[in-house]
Amino acid sequence: MEKNEALASVGPCGIHCGGCELYKAKDDHALLEALVAKGLRRETLPCAGCRPVQGKCPVIGGTCRTYECVQKRGFDFCYKCPEFPCDKLNPAADRADVLPHNLKVFNLCFIQKHGLDEFLKKAPEIKLKYYRGKMAIGQGPQVK
């Protein structure tokens, strides 16, 4: 994957835009219609990812404050900021079963340590472990 394309597929906060349903709707008409039926505005879909839309997330109906912060500071990713991790990345149990936001810090640490290309290879597995994994104390989430 080309560097610019790879960078465009991951938000500055570590969210894998390429794995998001709003992004995937570009290739799946049924998914697009399901998202519209859930109340998302058709004109905002499919989402091209945070960077190409300059942080104007269809879900929040405005510009993402995390995106604005990273842009203002001149970083590609939050982990490059001396204030990382900040409150914008703090996980919450609220809607953790349906939103990938609790993955941000893990994803950013993975990208920092292993690089963007390796993250993109592992992103589907990371997401699978988050949503389908069963926690094994001392081992992390396990998928059977």
pLDDT averaged over 10-residue windows placed end to end, the chain, 144 residues: 79 92 91 91 89 88 92 96 94 87 94 96 94 91 90
Closest CA to 127 of 100, 106, 105, 108: 100
Given this model, what pLDDT does residue 100 score? 87
Confidence (pLDDT) at 1: 55
- List, in order, residues 6 or more apart from 84 with CB less than 8 Å away: 78, 108
Distance CA 116, CA 97 (A): 25
Burial of 80 (0-12, 13-18, 19+ CB in 10 A): middle
pTM value? 0.86
